A and B are shown apart, each in its own frame.
Chain A
Amino acid sequence: MLEVEGLTKFFGGLEAVSGVSMSMKPEEIVGLIGPNGAGKTTLFNLVSGVLRPTKGRVIFEGTDITAQKPHHIAKKGIVRTFQATNIYPNFTVLENVVLSCHLKPGVGLLETVLHTAGSRRKEKDILHRSRTILTLVGLDRMADVLARTLAHGYKRILGIAIALAAEPKLLLLDEPLGGMNGEEVSETMGLIRRLWQSGITILLIEHNMRATMNLCQRIVVLNLGRKIAEGSPAEIQGNSEVIRAYLGAG
């Protein structure tokens, strides 16, 4: 489904990502781990088109999408979440999701300006779909709350809901569990597992090792921009190079 071939990114003289190759099969759930500064988020930015790679290719469902614009890549079905600005703070929770639903074609911009019957019907469908997504992630009771007033954990979940509304085939989650408390972690893990079971392919960056090992079928480890290991959670836990990357040379 996704083929990353020799992806390299220089920031000036700094090699943030260095010749990383990896692939994902449909309906797989893969974890991307590594110490801080390993190049995980840069890899996400390269795949999702936010950054242009210095070298290498990204192929999605057989087509080369290297260095395409982010919104084109999103339309093809790769949707990513962000660590920081992951919601629209001044919109209600419902509006946050409604906005992403607008992507699906059907009503032209002029029609929405003229407020035609067709566009009103379509808006109703979108509202219905948005509420369904909020129910799925468990934010339905907070639909009319301003997003910036949400608790941190709910903000992160809303970030996932925004991505879901864009109907991803491949979902890139950037630290979905970051800053969450224990209960929120287990709820969000449940959500990620349900999304995966519903057929969405997932690549996830996460520092919470127990959660990553628990959720993912396969793990890719980056360190200093290079891929140093790849394998099942059990293999990774026993890999001496991975242990060295995390604990320092021993």
Chain B
Amino acid sequence: MVSLLSSAVLIVCLLMLPLFLSGPYHMHILILTMLNVILAASLRLINLSGQISLAHGGMMTIGAYTSTLLVMKLGLPTWAAILLAGFSAALIAYLVGFPFVRLKGIYFSIVTIFLSEMVVLTAQQWEDLTGGSTGIFGIPRPDPIVIPGILNLDFSSKVHFYYLALVLMLVSLLILFAVERSRIGLTLRAIQQADSLTESVGINATGFKVLAFTIGCFFPGLTGGFYSHYISAISPDAFSFLFSIYILVYMTVGGDKRFAGPILGASVLTILPEVSRPLKAFMPFLFAAVLIAVIFFVPEGIAGLPNLLRRGRSGERTAHA
């Protein structure tokens, strides 16, 4: 359970962190970690309805290009563009959602991979708009936020981006948590267990699956928008198939049964390869090894560890009694 107190302590720690650890490299890793947390947590919402999406990379690409083009071609304010990046990914998810959710299990996952690949191909081929395979460079930073005398964020340093990513992550998690705790979350979990039964009592299971996919794709779109203005460059293959797989690994290793799971999984697996450079070179191997270990030994993921240990101990007690 995410208790209120521990969340508050964690948030205060995250707010103070740049006071101790403000080097650009550390900031960069922490920003990427928070983006991965948003991605893995939003993937879990889709997962609640019993579907595994591998379109998160594609959705991020859609968001990144949408925001970039809105700012650079149409001159929209960056903030509006980043928000619209989320909505454009959600819109596309909604449109493809109805045919997609008719497919179950692995077949749904496969069409989400195709969708991602189509996004990459579109970005590569539509050269007039997207600059083709080379991508787009010199994407402007977010517009400065200035409250005279109190706040002056002009995004000239990574610390400013850190705080922006932190706000983005907290708001995203809050929304995802509220959705999960609501009737939508309960209904999605029911659909995962027995979708024909939910329909027999009048629940539009197809509609709810599409809703989960739409909301779940809004966040990678938003993240993609943020990312393009942060890195200031975007290319069609920035978020490959492997990228989508990694997000799935974050969620699974953290534990898809609990809200805290993807948050933990994304944090551990983003920071771990950075601890030592040799590890980073072998990231796919590392991830595969961790994934296999978790599936065998901690099926409920990192978030399920405390529960597992407690059960183990009480199991011993009853065995001795």
Residues of A within 8 A of B310 (CB): none
Q: Check A115–B182 contact: CB distance below 8 A.
A: yes
Min Cβ gap A143→B in Å is 16
Any A CB within 8 A of the CB of B205: yes
CB nearest to A98 among chain B residues: B186
Q: Binary interface profile of A, 69-82, with partner B (CB < 8 Å = 1, else 0)?
A: 11100110001111
A89 touches B193 (CB 8 A): yes
> In this complex, what residue of B is CB-closest to A166?
B201
**Given A87-B197, A89-B193, A113-B178, A71 contacting B183 (CB threshold 8 A):** no
**Residues on the B chain within 8 Å of A88, using CB:** 189-190, 193-194, 197
Task: Compute how far the CA of A242 lies from the CA of B205 in the bound complex, rounded to whole angstroms.
Answer: 40
Q: Given the known A-B contacts A71-B205, A91-B193, are A82 and B182 also in contact in the complex, defined by CB atoms under 8 Å?
A: no
Pick the interface stretch among A99-107, A132-140, A181-189: A99-107
**Chain B interface (Cβ within 8 Å of chain A)?**
178-179, 181-184, 186-187, 189-190, 193-194, 196-205, 211
Count how many chain A residues have C-beta atoms less than 8 Å from C-beta atoms of the other chain: 34
Asked if B201 and A100 make an inter-chain contact with CB atoms under 8 angstroms apart, the answer reads: yes
* Residues of chain A whose beta carbon lies under 8 Å from any beta carbon of chain B: 48, 50, 69-71, 74-75, 79-82, 85-91, 95, 98-100, 102-103, 107, 109, 112-115, 162-163, 165-166
Residues of B within 8 A of A165 (CB): 201
B194 and A70 contact, CB distance less than 8 A = no
Contacts of A87 in B (CB 8 A): 194, 197
A88 to B187, CA, bound (A): 11
Name the prevailing secondary structure of the B interface residues: helix
A75 to B193, CA, bound (A): 21
Can you pick out 7 interface pairs between chain A and chain B where the beta carbons lie within 8 Å of each other? A85-B197, A87-B194, A88-B190, A102-B183, A102-B203, A109-B182, A166-B200
Q: B150 CB to closest chain A CB, in angstroms? A: 29
Q: Which of B189, B197, B199 contacts A90 (CB 8 A)?
A: B189
Contacting B186 at CB < 8 Å: which of A75, A85, A99?
A99
A71-B205, A91-B193, A114-B178 given as contacts; is B200 within 8 A of A80 (CB)?
Answer: yes
- Asked whether B181 lies within 8 Å of A99 as measured between CB atoms, the reply is no
Which residues of the other chain, B, contact A74 by a CB distance below 8 angstroms?
Answer: 199-202
* Chain A positions within 8 Å of B194 at CB level: 85, 87-88
Which of B184, B189, B197, B198 has the most chain A CB atoms closer than 10 A to its own CB?
Answer: B197
By beta carbon, the residue of chain B nearest A96 is B190
Task: Tell me the smallest distance from the CB of B312 to a CB of chain A, in Å.
Answer: 20
Chain A residues whose C-beta falls within 8 Å of the C-beta of B202 in the assembled complex: 71, 74-75, 79, 100, 103, 166
Given A71-B205, A113-B179, A114-B178, A48 contacting B200 (CB threshold 8 A): yes
Q: Are A85's CB and B196's CB within 8 A?
A: yes
Kindly name the residue among B181, B189, B198, B205 whose own CB sees the greatest number of chain A CB atoms within 10 A.
B198
Contact of B196 among A50, A100, A109 (CB under 8 A): A50
Which A residue sits closest to B175, measured CB to CB?
A113
Taking CB atoms, residues of chain B closer than 8 Å to A103 are 201-203
Q: Are B193 and A90 in contact (CB under 8 A)?
A: yes
A187–B183 CA distance with the chains assembled, in angstroms: 33
- Contact in complex: B200, A115 (CB < 8 Å): no
Which one of B183, B196, B205 lies within 8 Å of A112 (CB-CB)? Answer: B183
- In the bound complex, residues from chain A placing their C-beta under 8 Å from that of B200 are 48, 50, 70, 74, 79-82, 163, 166
